[in-house]
Chain A
């Protein structure tokens, strides 16, 4: 039988955090819809808006998963994860250079901020892994 990537505790923690993240997505979608329909405010381009609505619950899930020792499976290594996320951050960061046309237009975030937000998200995850590794080595 193939060895599972996450053990039973990690799987349970990840299920619970996924549920929380899903509830956050529902809440954010609701708040966003209320803001848009009642105040007629377009606070961001649809692409940037989507990225932000994904990144916020994603940050919650990943932060709690990493600090509950549930993000890295029994076969994965923290170093591989850090490198992967830094590479992703670099790719999105570089791609933003070519499309960047300022942060705001008509009071809302432009589409060109989307890759920057994604890049920041991946840097954040890599940073969390580094912090977690430092904490684990001092334990």
Chain B
């Protein structure tokens, strides 16, 4: 699993720090950090909570299409 740069950029656009997002979602800052680094696979419940807080869709945040994979692998 690669880095979740989309989530990082959406969070930055909302002007939220990792700690602020973690507080709103109800998890630790380290968990948000690990999700963004691609070191932790969140459950669907947590994905939904993050998507709601960031006011975006699950697809936008977590869907990895082939082009995205190629970009990451390249």
Contact = CB atoms under 8 A, between A and B. Distances in A.
Interface of A: 3-4, 7-10, 69, 72-74
Interface of B: 22, 26-28, 30-31, 34, 40, 42-43, 45-46
B46 A8 contact: yes
A138 to B, nearest CB: 14
A6 to B, nearest CB: 8
Nearest to A4: B26
For the residues of A in contact with B, the DSSP-based class is loop
B26 A10 contact: no
A9 B40 contact: yes
B26 A7 contact: yes
B26 A9 contact: no
A9 B39 CA distance: 11
A8 B42 contact: yes
Nearest to B39: A9
A7 B28 contact: yes
A10 B26 CA distance: 12
Contacts of A4: 26
Given A10-B31, A74-B26, 18 more contacts: A3-B26, A4-B26, A7-B26, A7-B28, A7-B31, A7-B46, A8-B27, A8-B31, A8-B42, A8-B43, A8-B46, A9-B28, A10-B28, A69-B30, A69-B31, A72-B28, A73-B28, A74-B27
Contacts of B26: 3-4, 7, 74
A69 B37 CA distance: 15
Nearest to B35: A9
A110 B22 CA distance: 48
Nearest to B41: A9
17 contacts: A4-B26, A7-B26, A7-B31, A8-B27, A8-B31, A8-B42, A8-B43, A8-B46, A9-B28, A9-B31, A9-B34, A10-B28, A69-B28, A69-B30, A73-B28, A74-B22, A74-B27
